[in-house]
Amino acid sequence: MCLDIAFYSALELIDEYFPNLVHDGEIDFDLETSVHFFAIGHKKYPIITFEDNHYHRRLFEWGIIAEYMNTPEKVKMLRRSMVNARSEKILNDKKSFWHRIRKKRCLIPVTGIYEHREIKGWKNKVPYHVCMKGRKLFCVPGLYHYNQFVPSDPETGEVRGMFTMVTRMGNEVMRNIHNSGDNAYRMPLFLPKELELKWLDPNLTDEDIASILSFEIPSDQLDYYPVFSIRGKTPRPDQVPKNQRFEYQNLPPLGNDDGQLQKSLF
């Protein structure tokens, strides 16, 4: 499960990426804190849709509330599982919620994502920052949903838009980084730009969608390096941003997770 993303540049990058982008409402987006954006907070994040022959930038909540989550208890228990959509479920499981909303496609602009690596003998997992080589901005495919039965957005009075991020089985690098947990060995659906934009084409057939979902980014097209704790409250000892490389003592190379015992840094 991918729960951590980063956007640490100017919003103008999104405008440059999408020609004739329509801004649906002004966005009060804190770029300083968005160097790490955590899914479980279900906060608002700018996503891109394509409607009426235009790209639209909208501020949606990360984590979908489906109609069957019809009590506060169900929302609290189940929404966490709705921040990611397994690519295998979108077409192959016709009973799944993801199959039902497969035509509601969006893109999630990021400058990077974070994933955690477990090392034997280490008290804490090591977070890694991962991005696409040579790209200041890239987009992860997602799906979006409007739930008419969820209370309206208190700020706008509109029905709240929500989104999920599409994930797939990881390539070699991402399997070695995301190497533990219930959703181990998975990664976001990283795509070249032409397939990102194709994802928003409203005329895609299921065969077209399947072709995009089957794409596996080669490991050599990703940049990755360890960073300091991104979820903890302990500040970095070197006082630099969370997305910057952090040098761990005795960090074993990827693929070798038999590390020496380490005291907690976080």
pLDDT tens-digit series, residues 152-180: 887 778 889 999 999 999 999 999 999 99
The pLDDT value given to residue 100 = 97
Q: In this predicted model, which residue has the larger pLDDT, 27 or 253?
A: 253
Q: Is the pLDDT of residue 12 over 60?
A: yes
Residue 35 is given by DSSP the state G
CA distance 227 to 6: 13
Check residue 88 and give its pLDDT. Answer: 97
- Tell me the mean pLDDT in the region 36-65: 93
**Residue 134 lies in domain:** 4-262
Q: What is the pLDDT of residue 239?
A: 85
Question: What pTM value is reported for the model?
Answer: 0.93
Q: Count how many domains the chain has.
A: 1
Q: What is the CATH number of the domain that holds 8?
A: 3.90.1680.10
Hey, is 167 helix, strand or coil? strand
pLDDT at 125 exceeding the cut of 60: yes
DSSP string, 54-123: EEEEEEEEES---TT--SHHHHHHHGGGGSEEEHHHHHH-TTSHHHHTTTSEEEEEESEEEEEE--EEES
What does the pLDDT read at residue 153?
A: 81
Distance separating alpha carbons of residues 266 and 264, to the nearest angstrom: 6
